[in-house]
């Protein structure tokens, strides 16, 4: 089972700033099959990125994904107030099982 480690655990930034979130895998993720989700209280997770860098339908272009192998990054170029949430990475290259990182909380500074 691939273990995903996200860093930092909490990121404190202001609207307008750039956010960089990291996801590191315990072994190489096949075909770079890695997704990113945004999760807010009271809602289901929202798919942002799949296949490491492909934006899901309707996702603003301030969200971008990059990386390959074991190191992946989610970048939010200019934070909007609605972007403050918890973000999870998920791998499906060695599915099953699907595995998630422990999450990064993005909070307003």
Partner 1 sequence: QVQLQESGPGLVKPSETLSLTCAVSGSSVTNIFCWGWFRQSPGKGLEWIGSIYHNARTYYHTSLQSRVNISLDTSKNQFSLQLTSMTAADTAMYYCARCRVGAGPRYSDYWGQGTLVTVSS
Verify binding: residue 9, partner 1, rule CB under 8 A: no
Please report how close the Cβ of residue 106 comes to partner 1 at its closest, in angstroms: 15
Alpha-carbon distance of 80 to 38, in angstroms, equals 13
């096949």: which residue's tokens? 30
Identity of the residue, 16 or 54, whose beta carbon is nearer to partner 1 in the bound complex: 54
Binding letters toward partner 1, positions 42-81, x by CB under 8 A: xxxxxx--x-----xx------------------------
Using CB under 8 A as the binding rule, whether residue 90 contacts partner 1 is answered as: yes
Exposure pattern of 31-62 as b/e (b: 16+ CB <10 Å)? ebbbbbbbeeeeeebebbbbebbebeeebeee
Residues in the chain: 109
What residues contact residue 57 under an 8 Å CB cut-off, 6+ apart? none
Residue choice 24, 39, 55, 62 for contact with partner 1 (CB under 8 A): 39
Q: Which residues contact partner 1 by CB under 8 A?
A: 33, 35, 37, 39, 42-47, 50, 56-57, 88, 90, 92, 94-103
């Amino acid at each position: 089972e691939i273990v995903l480690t996200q860093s930092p655990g909490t990121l404190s930034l202001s609207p307008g700033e750039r956010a960089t979130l990291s996801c590191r895998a315990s072994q190489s993720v096949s075909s770079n099959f890695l997704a990113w989700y945004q999760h807010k209280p009271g809602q289901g997770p929202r798919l942002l990125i799949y296949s490491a860098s492909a934006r899901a339908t309707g996702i603003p272009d301030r969200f971008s994904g990059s990386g390959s192998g074991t190191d992946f990054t989610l970048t939010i170029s200019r934070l909007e107030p609605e972007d403050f949430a918890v973000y999870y990475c998920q791998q499906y290259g060695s599915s099953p099982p699907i595995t998630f990182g422990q999450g990064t909380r993005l909070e307003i500074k």
